[in-house]
Amino acid sequence: MRVPEGPTETSVIGPGGIGGASKSWRGWVVGSSYLGGDHLVVSASPRPLRNYAKVVNGPAWYPNERVRALGWVNINGWRMRSVYVPPETNDGSAFMHHVVLIWTVGQHTYGVGFHNIKGLRQTVLLDEQLAKHIKLIRP
């Protein structure tokens, strides 16, 4: 499985809590893009999070939101949890109906995931291919 080439001009990524965004998103990084026909969402929290539903829903999280754990993967020395974000329990989340890899490095928890249109296994493989190319940099 190959990661589709380059984001489109409809890509959006940036810091949360500025412009028209709620102040509760301050410190978060959020992004959405289409790679080929695949919808990709990314997020980074301003502090480590243990609750996977909080990672995919950000400050908009409420107690009934749940994700379904799929397994663990190790990529680039990072232990990542793969989860499926069911729309029934994550209404309004950009990650709704996505398969997401979630991991923590230092003081941030990261989530990246593609929309599940090819089946869970194929989408996990697509996420893994993307994760192999992720480089975290310091400000």
User: Does residue 3 lie in a domain region?
Assistant: no
Per-residue burial over 33-60, b if 16 or more Cβ lie within 10 Å, else e, is bebeebbbbbbbbbeebeebbbbbbbbe
In the chain, which stretches have pLDDT less than 50? 1-10
Sign of the torsion formed by the C-alpha atoms of 7, 10, 14 and 16: negative
Q: In this predicted structure, what is the pLDDT of residue 2? A: 41
pTM of the model as a whole: 0.87
User: Does residue 2 lie in a domain region?
Assistant: no
Q: In this predicted structure, what is the pLDDT of residue 126? A: 95
Q: In this predicted structure, what is the pLDDT of residue 110? A: 96
Q: In this predicted structure, what is the pLDDT of residue 4? A: 42
User: Does residue 42 lie in a domain region?
Assistant: yes
Per the structure, the complete domain to which residue 25 belongs is given by 12-131
Domain count, the chain: 1
Residue 98 near residue 115, CB atoms below 8 Å: yes
User: Does residue 138 lie in a domain region?
Assistant: no
**Tokens 């509760």 found at:** 24
User: Does residue 83 lie in a domain region?
Assistant: yes
Residue 117 near residue 38, CB atoms below 8 Å: yes
Q: How many angstroms separate the Cα of 51 from the Cα of each of 47, 83, 108? A: 12, 11, 13
User: Does residue 136 lie in a domain region?
Assistant: no
User: Does residue 112 lie in a domain region?
Assistant: yes
